[in-house]
Amino acid sequence: MCGISGWVDWKRDLLESRSVISAMTETMAPRGPDAQEVWISPHAALGHRRLAVIDIEGGQQPMRRSVPGGGTAVITFSGEIYNFHELRSQLRSHGRDFTTHSDTEVLLTAYLHWGTDFVHRLNGMYAFAIWDERKQELLLVRDRLGIKPLYYALLDGGVVFGSEPKALLAHPGITAEVDREGLAELLALPRARTPGHAVYRSMREVRPGCLVRGNASGLREERYWRLSAQPHTAGFDDTVTEVRALLEDIVRRQSIADVPVGTLLSGGIDSSIVTALAARELTAGVESFSVRLGPAGRPGGDSWRPSDDEPFASLAAEYLGIERHVTEVGAADLVKNLDQGLLARDLPGWGDLDTSMYHLFQGVRGRCTVALSGEAADEVFGGYAWQTDRDFVAHPSFPWMHGGRQPAALLRDDVRAMIAPERYEADRYRQALDEVPRLPGESGPRRREREVFHLGMTHWLGALLDRKDRMSMAVGLEVRVPFADHRLAEYLFNVPMELKARGGTEKAILRRACADLLPAEIVERPKSAYPASRDSAYLERLRELALDLLNERDAPVFALLDREKVRSAVVSDLDRLPGPITAITPAIGLSYLLQLNRWLEIYRVRVVL
């Protein structure tokens, strides 16, 4: 895992631009604390910040190799290729030689041997750029499900790119601007942005499963992977057997590293299964890590978090005989690091859900360089209410938006008229439905079921993976996501809900597939989302900060939001304050308001309406 950056210009000479590419690369320092290198040629400058995980001595980047017929190809790469051993064997059988043991060299050699078709052979999480000096061509590639980020922006005669927006913003030709579409993404679709939309006016994000080719004639994005609709003829037992075999292979591949590997353990079925399978692979032992938030100001849970993680995580660790470390996060930690999620994302985020995860990952990084996570299991196995509840499924838009209020409700009337958030949401929803693959003649509930799962895989999951990447990379921790393996996604996309929720049990296939690995209390535990803070001290401090903001005459956020609408919500109707994601308290709504203002201030964002 690493941070990458680059600048290609087909019109000008970049040999005197080392300071620019170095500055861009330096912004990625938290992603790659182990080394920084840049490579420059007349028309291309590539940068790399390294987090050493595979082949500590030989995997330095940017990596350069000779192109048959003359010239050079150079790669800067973030991520992991889990099948690089197999690919290296295949390439050696074709006469290719290797000088390192790294997956980076395998990637570059695969490109030189197979051309861009090599992307179809990859299994992993990755975002990389290859500059082919002979062809004067740039290739940007992102993994199938979007685990690793990759942004780019056009310049006159060229393009800049990087792992995060901050890398692009360090280039003198890129300014922080947001237009109507960007504001609509932040305020109308804050839970799950449109794939490819970077919010910043000049930027794009390479869409999952896509590559971008660039040459002097321009850029062209091409899709190399998408989910496809296929009949599923296997019964429940055979489906369970196939899932178990896939999971064992996935975790085996993802447990390989030349550094310590741990797991994130909440006590839910997803993280517990990953931990149990990893414990079988990591013969040196596995350490697990959990987070516990401060005291609850309100009793009970919410529909997304019906039970506390702690007793289940403790039970899982004891049952598996592994060591577990718990990171405690209190109100003071959340307030002190309120901007951390913003600075990691380069955009307003999810408040304490970001901050507590950042603290958790700090704790993990003190003992491990790599951690395995249970993220994405709900999306592929059907663990959310919005995938199964009739009212959510019937909602005439993105199902997770049923019953929620969006921050767009706080817009000034004149700004709202320009952004038209309801129309924007409807347009994006129609576009998303147009991409759903279907079988001929498929209609009724099965058609809608397929739509809901496709929306979740292409939109909702991206938001969770984005958060996981930013918070982990902010502390130089590599988090791997076994359930986001594309083979599992391809298989389960076609499994009908009658099997996924057999007997009315959510994620019935997953529970049966790994029932022999865990105690019944965990196998049968209902879905409970990542914990949100219920600390009354934290909520009250956020409310105080929001009241202070309301008294700031020149606060930039009120060029967009209606001050009186915000005041009414904060003073007398706090529970109805809209936020980017569902939570038991309005803390996330308050933090989103505060972060939106801080984003406009810190990044000096120019609003273009």
| CB-based contact 410:565 (threshold 8 Å) | yes
CA 596 to chain centroid, in Å, comes to 20
Place of tokens 């914990």: 531
Could you give the residue ranges of the DSSP H alpha helices within 420-573?
Answer: 421-434, 444-455, 461-473, 486-493, 497-500, 508-513, 520-523, 536-550, 563-572
Buried b (16+ CB within 10 A) or exposed e, 37-51: bbbbbebbbbbbbbb
Take residue 144 and report the two structure tokens written for it: 């199938």
Three-state SS sequence of 298-343: CCCCECCECCCCHHHHHHHHHHHCCEEEEEEECHHHHHHCCCHHHH
* 2 belongs to the catalytic site: yes
Take residue 344 and report the two structure tokens written for it: 């990691």
3-state SS assignment for residue 480: strand
Q: Which residues pair with 50 in a beta bridge?
A: 2, 35
Three-state SS sequence of 389-409: CHHHHHCCCCHHHCCCCCHHH
Q: Give the pairing of strands 158-162 and 2-9.
A: antiparallel
Q: In what order do the strands lie in the sheet with 72-81?
A: 63-66, 72-81, 124-132, 137-142, 210-215, 218-223
Q: Identify whether 437 is preceded by a cis peptide bond (ω within 30 of 0).
A: no
Q: How far apart are CA 509 and CA 98, in angstroms?
A: 42
Rg (CA), the chain: 24
3-state SS assignment for residue 601: helix
Taking CA atoms, 318 is separated from 191, 313, 518, 540, 563, in Å, by 35, 9, 11, 37, 52
> Would you put residue 106 in left (φ > 0), alpha (ψ -120 to 50) or beta?
alpha
Residue 389 makes CB contacts below 8 A (sequence gap 6+) with none
Q: Which is nearest to 77 in space by CA: 115, 41, 114, 39?
A: 39
Q: Which among 2, 210, 368, 514 is annotated as catalytic?
A: 2
Any idea which residues carry the catalytic annotation? 2
